[in-house]
Structure 1
C-alpha cells in the first residue's frame, strides 16, 4: 500500500514552483472547464476542489503531491492568471493537455499550449510577478527512433536553456513512462494479452536514456552556477508498480477506472461517464492518464526516493541545496 505523505511543511522549501509540460504527467488541462463541469463538479473534473481551476483531472496529480510535500498551495493554471488578480507568488502551472516538445505535437487534439508557448507564458508571469511583488510541419516518419529522440532532446535542451536565461536554476526533468502499457495502446491489439506494446516502450527508453545523458551534460556544463538538473526515472517507477500492483494496493492495471477496457472505443472520461467506485485500486483513470492514487506514489518516490529513481539527487535534497 502507498505510504501516507508527511504533513505539510511549516515553511516551503521552495518559495515557488513553475510547472511546464504535458498534463499526462503534470497538472490538468489548461483549456478551462466546461460550463457543465463547473455546474455539476463531475468526477472527471475537479471533484477534489470546488471552483474553476483550468484542469480536467480526477484528483491530485504528481505535481500536486510534490507541491504538498514542499509546503506549497495548489498552483493555478496559467489560463486563469491573465487578469493579474490571482496570487501567483507560489507559482503557476503551464502544463497543457497534448503539449509536446515540438510545436506540432498534439495538434490532432486541437488547441493546446506547446512547450515553446509555455516558456513564453512563463515570461508573461515574470511581468505579473514584478507587479505583484512591489513553420513548416515536421514529417516524423523520416526519422528512426534514435534520430527522433535526438531531435526531441535538442529542442528540449533549447527550451530548458531559455528558462535558464529567464532565471530558473533548479530543474526536474521527468522521463517518459512506459506508454506502451497505457490502455489506449493495449486496445490496439499490438501486444499479446498481459503484455505491453514493446516497440512503443523501446522508443520511450531511447528518449529517456538520452534525457539522463542530457542531465549529466547540463550538470557538468553549469557547475558552480548554483544550478542543479535532476532526472526522474518515471519509467522505472511506473514499471515497478505495474510489475507489483498488489504491493501498492492496485488490482486493475490494464484498464481505466472511467469505463475504459480493452477493445473499447472510448478514449477518455467524458461527461456523463460513470467512473468505478474503487478508483484507488486502478492505476489508470482513463485510456491515457493515471489515477490520483498512482500519482501520489510517484510523487513520494520522486520526493524522497533513491538515486535509481531520482538522479543525481531527489526532490527533497534538491529543495535543500
Structure 2
C-alpha cells in the first residue's frame, strides 16, 4: 500500500522539477538538446492549457471554479483540473506543456513542446471568427517555433527534435456546432457530407504541413459523444433530455470519414504514424453508465445552470448566476460541455495504453517509444 502511494508522489515531484528546470535552464546549445520526445498540442477547449487568457475573447475560463481541484487556481483550462494532454505529458516524463502565448517561454521549453490549442477553435477560419485561434493560425505559430529551433540548434538537431516529437490534435467539434448556434454560409451552401469533408480537409492539410517540417507521430481523438452532452439535451424544446439527432448526424459523418483520411495520409506520407482514440465510444459509455466508471452523474454538469446544468454560466460567465455541485468527483462533466479532471485522467489512460480497438493502430505510449 505504501509503495502504491509513493510512486504517484514521486512522479508528481519529478514533473514539477522538470517544469522548473525547463524554465530556468541557461540558454546555450548544450542545454537545449534533450533525449525526451517533445509534445506539441493543437486544437480546441479539450486541450487548451490557457492560450485564450492572452487574446481578446470572452471564451475564457480563467476564473473560479475552473482549476479548483489540482492547481487550486484557474489556469485557463476548461476543467476543474488537469486535461488529457497534461496526463499524457506526465506519462511521457515531460513537464506540463505550457500555452504558446504564455509570457516567458524559453527556447529550452521548445525542446519539450508547446500547447497551441484555443478554446472554441475550429479547423475552419469561419468558426467563431475573431474570437479564437483557429487551426491554421496555430500552425503558423508552430512554424515560428520551428524557426526558433533551427536558429538555436541548427537544421540537423532541430529536425531530430521535430521528428521524434508527438503531435496531438483535438479539432472539429466547434466546426460542427457553430452552424447550430450561428449563421454559417459555408454550412448552408453545402451538403452535410461536403461540409464535413471541408472540416477534415482543413485538418489534414495542417497535418501535411507539420509532416513537411519533420513531424512523423500524431495523436487524435475522434469526435466525442457531444450529441448527448448537457447542452445538446436542451436543443429540442419538445424533447428535453434526449440526445440531439442533428448533432449526432454530423458527428457520425465526421467519425466515419476521418479514419479514412488518416489512412490515406499514412499511404501517402512515408513514416507517418498515428494513434486515433475512439473518444465517442469511451465518452458515450460513461454518459450512459456513469457508475461503471466511478461517477454518480453522467448527464449533468457539475457547474452551470438550467436543466442538466446545460447552460454555460459556470463561474458567473456573462454575469449570470450558476450552480456548483458539492463533489466534483461524482460528475463526468464539469461544466456544460467539458469533463472533470477525473474523466480526463480515465480518457488519457485509454489514449496512452489502450488496445488497438480503443486507440489504434498505435497508442500514445507506442508513439513516444518510436525512434
Q: Same fold (TM over 0.5)?
A: yes
Runs of 5+ consecutive residues of structure 1 not aligned to the other structure:
35-39
Q: Map of 1:97-176 to 2, 5 A cutoff?
A: 97-107=119-129, 111-130=131-150, 133=153, 138-176=185-223
- Quote the residue 1:243 is aligned against: 288
Q: Which one has a larger percent helix, Structure 1 or Structure 2?
A: 2
* CA drift at 1:164: 0.8
- Name the stretch that deviates more: 161-170 or 11-20: 11-20
Report how many aligned residue pairs link the two structures.
306
Measured in 2, the distance between the counterparts of 1:263 and 1:243 equals 14
Say whether the 8 Å CA contact 2:275–2:361 is kept in structure 1: yes
Report the CA distance shift for 1:166/1:85 in structure 2 as closer, same or farther (over 3 A). closer
CA RMSD, aligned part only?
Answer: 3.1
Residues 139-193 of structure 1, C-alpha deviations (whole Å, 9 max, x = no match): 2112222111111111111111011111111011221101211111112235845
- Quote the residue 1:228 is aligned against: 273
> Which structure has more RCO (C-alpha within 8 Å, separation ≥ 6)?
1
Report the CA distance shift for 1:260/1:307 in structure 2 as closer, same or farther (over 3 A). farther
- Quote the residue 1:196 is aligned against: 243
* CA drift at 1:277: 2.3
Q: Give the secondary structure class of the aligned counterpart of 1:253.
A: strand
Report the CA distance shift for 1:244/1:91 in structure 2 as closer, same or farther (over 3 A). same
* CA drift at 1:55: 3.9
Report the CA distance shift for 1:239/1:82 in structure 2 as closer, same or farther (over 3 A). same
TM-score by length of 1: 0.84
Report the CA distance shift for 1:129/1:81 in structure 2 as closer, same or farther (over 3 A). farther
Measured in 1, the distance between the counterparts of 2:190 and 2:63 equals 43
TM-score by length of 2: 0.73
Residues 194-253 of structure 1, C-alpha deviations (whole Å, 9 max, x = no match): 53112211210110111111121112222xx33202222111111122222101011112
Report the CA distance shift for 1:291/1:43 in structure 2 as closer, same or farther (over 3 A). same
Report the CA distance shift for 1:270/1:42 in structure 2 as closer, same or farther (over 3 A). closer
Measured in 1, the distance between the counterparts of 2:37 and 2:264 equals 27
* CA drift at 1:275: 2.7
Measured in 2, the distance between the counterparts of 1:46 and 1:88 equals 28
Runs of 5+ consecutive residues of structure 2 not aligned to the other structure:
19-33, 56-61, 155-183
Q: Map of 1:1-321 to 2, 5 A cutoff?
A: 7=8, 8=11, 14-23=36-45, 25-32=46-53, 42-45=64-67, 48-49=70-71, 53=75, 55-81=77-103, 84=106, 87-107=109-129, 111-130=131-150, 133=153, 138-189=185-236, 192=239, 194-222=241-269, 225-262=270-307, 266-271=311-316, 275-321=324-370
